[in-house]
């Protein structure tokens, strides 16, 4: 009886957003469960991890991009070669929220897709922290106008980080059961820590 040949699958997730919003912090929290409070400038870093799912080997690549607009060609190439996108802003930085609107337009243009696989992440949503981007406003824009997934998270307090990656993998059409370790870690996050509020569609608005 011949041995079954394992199917090789690969997916690339890319994190985009202004410098200092916590893209690297979210990735490090997911991969290593660590948090470094000091901001370190990133040009571009590619992380890779393999998971076994039944007879398949799934390779997940996570691309951490620069928040600088001085690398437009590099950013375009990153978009072309990626399967799902995390657009990250900081809830205490209104400018960073405006930035993700521009990045989304660029993704639509490069991918030539009206509904690309995007998860918008409002990072730095620590309890008691400063907030300049209202949750309801961001949620309305992203889920009603863009038809994309919205989450708030805190890399610092490890809130909703697993949820961000679960959503990205779902957007990339990979099973959420991808990693038993990921599933176990996700189950340790109390449900009350999930920051997504109920959506009141009567109060929807578009952010200009």
pLDDT tens profile 64-105? 998 766 667 888 888 999 999 999 999 999 999 999 999 999
**Domain ranges, ordered by start, for the chain:** 7-199
Share of the chain above pLDDT 70, in %: 75
Give the confidence band of 201 by pLDDT, cuts at 50, 70, 90. Answer: very low
Q: What is the C-alpha to C-alpha distance for residues 34 and 156, in angstroms, rounded to an integer?
A: 9
Q: What is the pLDDT of residue 196?
A: 41
| Residue given tokens 């059409």 in the structure block | 173
Of 176, 190, 122, which Cα lies nearest the Cα of 150? 122
Q: Which CATH superfamily is domain 7-199 in?
A: P-loop containing nucleotide triphosphate hydrolases (3.40.50.300)
pTM of this prediction? 0.77
Beta-sheet strand order (sheet of 149-152): 44-53, 56-65, 7-16, 84-90, 118-123, 149-152
Q: What is the dihedral of CA 61, 62, 67, 68, to 10 degrees?
A: -10
How far apart are alpha carbons 51 and 68 in whole angstroms?
Answer: 32
Rounded to 5°, angle at Cα 20 from 15 and 23: 25
Determine contact, residues 167/36, Cβ cutoff 8 Å: no
Q: Per residue in 153-168, pLDDT tens?
A: 999 999 999 999 999 9
């Amino acid at each position: 009886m011949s041995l079954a040949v394992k199917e090789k699958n690969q997916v690339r997730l890319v994190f985009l957003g202004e410098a200092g919003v916590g893209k690297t912090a979210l990735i490090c929290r997911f991969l290593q469960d660590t948090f470094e409070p000091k901001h370190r400038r990133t040009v571009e870093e590619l992380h890779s991890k393999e998971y076994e799912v039944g007879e398949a080997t799934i390779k997940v690549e996570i691309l951490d991009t620069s928040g600088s607009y001085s690398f437009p060609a590099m950013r375009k190439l990153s978009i072309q070669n990626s399967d799902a996108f995390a657009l990250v802003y900081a809830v205490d930085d209104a400018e960073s929220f405006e930035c993700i609107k521009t990045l989304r337009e660029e993704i639509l243009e490069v991918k030539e897709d009206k509904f690309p696989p995007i998860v918008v992440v409002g990072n730095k949503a620590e309890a008691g922290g400063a907030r300049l981007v209202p949750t309801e406003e961001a949620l309305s824009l992203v889920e009603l106008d863009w038809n994309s997934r919205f989450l708030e998270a805190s890399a610092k307090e490890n809130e909703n980080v697993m949820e961000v990656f679960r959503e990205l993998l779902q957007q990339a059409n990979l099973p959420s059961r991808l990693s038993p370790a990921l599933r176990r870690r996700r189950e340790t996050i109390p449900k009350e820590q999930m920051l997504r509020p109920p959506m009141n569609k009567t109060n929807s608005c578009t952010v200009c």
